């Protein structure tokens, strides 16, 4: 199997296994689906952290208002009593006024946090040399959905971004998160400074060796060629710098501890052999 190390810009994303016979179009769609799935998981985890700290989101017309403004406008959150966490809530006011402050208790909070950690670990396997599949992405999303259902058995309000993400109704227009998403038809793969054309197969570029390992970069169509990978990896560069620094320190110590007394030794005398043959070795001079 061909192993791909997928990057976006200079950031490592995930490892993927495929074959040289796969059409580039299918491969690009597969990479984009996993890439977007990981983005969705990260967005959900980010919102779940806020859910664990401050409870569900308030209706859009109440978000950002102070308590006095809400009371003056006579606004009421009808979901506050419907969407209560299991085991009761602990009030932790949201200073930015986005969530209602009725956070889950410590046990339910731990359920959310532990599930988030497991989901992130499942899809962050570059260092562990584990390849990611779309099934793994779906499993991670199912784990997050299950944790939310455990803590909020009555569900989340329809305007809560977590529920919208699970139902694929999220609106990312005008957001930084939306700019990061790469739709499958617009996904481009690049390798060794070349765009992998969708009408060709992967083997047309890398040959027929199924044991090949390459780094590919995904980006949106029309953005031009991404920066090429450095000749020396960052890790190798650090090792080289450490080696040269250590070598310089050793040379510095040798210069400080230079000892030239060996020049007085017999073996260092270039005329020693000549005097030995002439019989004038070990002659001592003394005054009469």
DSSP the chain: -EEEEEEETTEEEEEEEE-TTSBHHHHHHHHHHHHHHHHHHHHHHHHHHHHHHH-SBPPTTTTT--HHHHHHHT---TTTTTSPPTT-EEE---TTSSB-SEEE-HHHHHHHHHHHHHHHHHH--TTTT-B--HHHHHHHHHHHHHHHHHH-TT---TT-HHHHHHTT----TTSHHHHH---GGGEEEEETTEE--TTSBTHHHH-S-TT-EEEEEEEETTS-PPPPPPSS-HHHHHHHHHHHHHHHHHHHHHHHT---GGGGSGGG-TTHHHHHHHT-TT------
- pLDDT at position 11 is 87
Domain residue extents for the chain: 2-220
Task: Name the one residue in this structure whose structure tokens are 């979901």.
Answer: 79
- pLDDT at position 21 is 94
- pLDDT at position 287 is 62
Crossing angle (nearest 10°) for helices 24-54 and 134-151 = 20
- pLDDT at position 104 is 94
- pLDDT at position 284 is 61
Residues of the chain with pLDDT under 70: 125, 127-128, 229-233, 256-288
Q: Are 141 and 44 in contact (CB under 8 A)?
A: yes
- pLDDT at position 34 is 95
Query: How far apart are the C-alpha atoms of 105 and 103, rounded to whole Å?
Result: 7
Task: Name the one residue in this structure whose structure tokens are 């970069």.
Answer: 217
**β-strands 2-8, 11-18 pairing:** antiparallel
Burial of 78 from C-beta contacts in 10 A (0-12 / 13-18 / 19+): exposed
- pLDDT at position 52 is 94
Provide the terminal-to-terminal Cα distance of the chain, rounded to the nearest Å.
95
Query: How far apart are the C-alpha atoms of 35 and 66, rounded to whole Å?
Result: 39
CA distances, 61 to each of 70, 74, 164, 224 (Å): 10, 12, 17, 41
Question: Taking the model in full, what pTM does it have?
Answer: 0.77
Going by C-alpha positions, the residue among 51, 3, 35 that lies closest to residue 220 is 35
CA max distance for the chain: 126
135-150 as b/e, with b when 16 or more CB fall inside 10 Å? Answer: ebbeebbebbbebbee
């Amino acid at each position: 199997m061909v192993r791909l190390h997928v990057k976006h810009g200079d950031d490592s994303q995930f490892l993927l296994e495929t074959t040289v016979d796969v059409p580039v179009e299918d491969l690009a769609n597969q990479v984009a689906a996993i890439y977007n799935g990981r983005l969705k998981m990260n967005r959900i985890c980010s919102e779940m952290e806020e859910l664990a700290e401050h409870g569900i989101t308030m209706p859009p017309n109440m978000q950002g208002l102070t308590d006095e403004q809400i009371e003056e406008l006579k606004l009421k959150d009808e979901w506050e009593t419907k969407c209560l966490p299991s085991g009761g809530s602990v009030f932790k006011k949201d200073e930015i006024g986005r969530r209602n402050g009725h956070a889950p208790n410590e046990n339910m909070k731990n359920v959310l946090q532990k599930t988030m950690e497991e989901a992130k670990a499942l899809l962050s396997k570059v260092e562990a040399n584990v390849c990611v599949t779309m099934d793994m992405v779906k499993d991670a999303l199912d784990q997050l959905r299950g944790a939310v259902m455990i803590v909020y058995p009555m569900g989340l309000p329809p305007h809560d971004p977590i529920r919208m993400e699970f139902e694929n109704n999220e609106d990312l227009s005008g957001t930084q998160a939306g700019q990061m998403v790469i739709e499958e038809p617009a996904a481009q793969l690049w390798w060794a400074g070349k765009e992998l054309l969708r009408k060709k197969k992967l083997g047309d570029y890398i040959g027929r060796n199924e044991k090949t390992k390459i780094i590919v970069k995904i980006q949106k169509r029309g953005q031009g060629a991404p920066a090429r990978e450095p000749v020396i990896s960052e890790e190798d560069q650090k090792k080289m710098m450490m080696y040269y620094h250590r070598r310089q320190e050793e040379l510095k110590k040798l210069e400080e501890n230079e000892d030239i007394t060996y020049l007085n030794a017999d073996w260092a005398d270039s005329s020693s052999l000549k005097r030995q043959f002439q019989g004038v070795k070990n002659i001592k001079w003394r005054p009469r």
